Amino acid sequence: MKRRTLLTGLGGLAAANIIRPASAAGTLVGVTKTEIKIGHTCPYSGNASSYGIQGKSHAAYWKRVNDMGGVAGRQINFISLDDAYNPAKTVEQTRRLVEQDHVALLFNQLGTPTNSAIHKYVNQKKVPHLFLSTSADKWGDYKHFPWTIGYAPSYRTEAQIYGKYIKANRPNAKATLIYQNDDFGKDYLHGLQDVYGKDFDKVFVKVVTYESSDATVDSQVVTMKDSGADVLVTAAIPKFAAQVIRKTFDIGWKPFHVMSNVSASIAATITPAGPEKAEGVVTSQYLKDPTDPEFKDSPDMKEWRGFMAKYIPDGDVTDVGYVYAYSVANLMHIVLKQCGDDFTRENIIKQASNVKPVALPLLLPDMMAHTTPTDFRPLKQLQLARWKINTWERFGEIIGA
């Protein structure tokens, strides 16, 4: 098990100092006059371990915050545990964070199946479960799960955008879809079904799935090619998206290929697959790509590169995963500052659901993060992009949900 704990200059504190009883203002847990505890899980091992850089980036971000004086005079104690993208392990680690480490809140935990496994638990415990690193459509259900707030545009919305694009540009498509057999992948299936309706089965001549524990998806790619499809939609995490790109190229199949944006990382997907094999793949973006020359000299990109050089000098600055982690950590930082000196769980969730429109660092131009008590999806816009030679080239207009 990997445990990443970030705490500057605090030393040992008695449990009585870490946890305060409920007061008239609300429930205060994981906060003292000198500390705020934040819990996090992500896969530092297993098939999704490429996402482990997000936890690494968060630890570095909160170290920088601590170096600058913390939040409201308090240091951030960031506790990040490895769940190997295994829902059972996520349950175990989250219970540890809530019941043993007594964190004030949970931040940016990664994965649809993993967060699904703890969704009811954290809401029953009334623990702020904020800005999840998964775009499943259900994270916006403020009525039934008022302690959970998502972050990026939903997978279902993303799939609807792809469906409309395919419909407009390949009206006579014979299409095929591969998706991860869980709520993550099914959102893409449902989004495409939203667009094609009763014609879905006519257009999508082959639909296949894979399990996140599988070794490869090579056989699925061969099956999709044999269906005669000329359009391919891939809804997969980086390891498997890279395999789809590589196998498709190696067997000489050249479909019009659309890929989920969770796998748009150059370092985690394109490089392992082979950049030349990904030529023409289409995805969507809401973040600035660090390889895009258009943003080379933008102030926020320069700021991020300075952060990387100082706090993660061994980090791959072509990996959009670091960009993502830095941007979402800025949103969490904004919420903590909005709390003033009231870090009760009730006020933390209140502030997280009342973020005025803000241009977070590294979002695409004109995109804003915004939440309200009836809108738990901070980001709702995307722009299409196509892989060309050595970078993603954006095209078309920014599309709203």
Q: What is the pLDDT of residues 256-282, one digit of tens each?
A: 999 999 999 998 999 999 999 999 999
- 143 in the same domain as 11: yes
Alpha helices (H) along 75-204:
87-95, 112-124, 155-169, 183-196, 200-203
Give the count of beta carbons closer than 10 Å to the beta carbon of residue 123. 16
Structure tokens at 22: 């409920």
Q: In what order do the strands lie in the sheet with 256-259?
A: 204-210, 175-180, 231-235, 256-259, 282-285, 381-388, 391-400
Structure tokens at 176: 């095929």
The answer to whether residue 396 is domain-embedded is no
Which CA distances in Å does 47 have to 109, 186, 196, 317, 381? 16, 19, 32, 22, 29
pLDDT at 346 over 70: yes
Task: Quote the percentage of the chain above a pLDDT of 70.
Answer: 94
- 33 in the same domain as 110: yes
* Per-residue pLDDT reduced to its tens digit, 308-340: 999 999 999 999 999 999 999 999 999 999 999
φ, ψ dihedrals at 312, nearest 5°: -135, 65
- 90 in the same domain as 32: yes
Number of domains in the chain: 2
- What confidence category does residue 6 fall into, taking pLDDT thresholds of 50, 70 and 90? low
Give the pLDDT of residue 211.
Answer: 96
φ, ψ dihedrals at 283, nearest 5°: -140, -165
The answer to whether residue 400 is domain-embedded is no
pLDDT at 400 over 80: no
Task: Supply the DSSP symbol for 217.
Answer: -
- 195 in the same domain as 261: yes
pLDDT at 41 over 90: yes
- 131 in the same domain as 162: no
- 60 in the same domain as 171: no
Structure tokens at 116: 């699904």
Structure tokens at 145: 């799960």
Give the mean pLDDT of the chain: 93
Nearest to 28 by CA among 16, 40, 39, 42: 16
- 249 in the same domain as 176: yes
The answer to whether residue 276 is domain-embedded is yes
Give the pLDDT of residue 5.
Answer: 54
Nearest to 218 by CA among 244, 193, 198: 244
Handedness of CA 35, 37, 150, 326 (dihedral sign): positive
Structure tokens at 400: 């709203």
Give the count of beta carbons closer than 10 Å to the beta carbon of residue 316. 17
The answer to whether residue 291 is domain-embedded is no
pLDDT at 9 over 80: no
- 237 in the same domain as 196: yes
Domain range for 16 is 3-153+298-380
What number of helices (H) and strands (E) belong to the chain?
Answer: 13, 13
Which CA distances in Å does 205 have to 41, 186, 225, 233, 249? 38, 17, 11, 12, 20
CATH value at residue 343: 3.40.50.2300
**Exposure of 148 in the CB half-sphere (CA atoms within 13 A):** 26
The answer to whether residue 131 is domain-embedded is yes
Which CA distances in Å does 389 have to 2, 246, 269, 318? 37, 15, 14, 14
- 135 in the same domain as 13: yes
The answer to whether residue 54 is domain-embedded is yes
Span 129-147, average pLDDT? 95
- 147 in the same domain as 29: yes
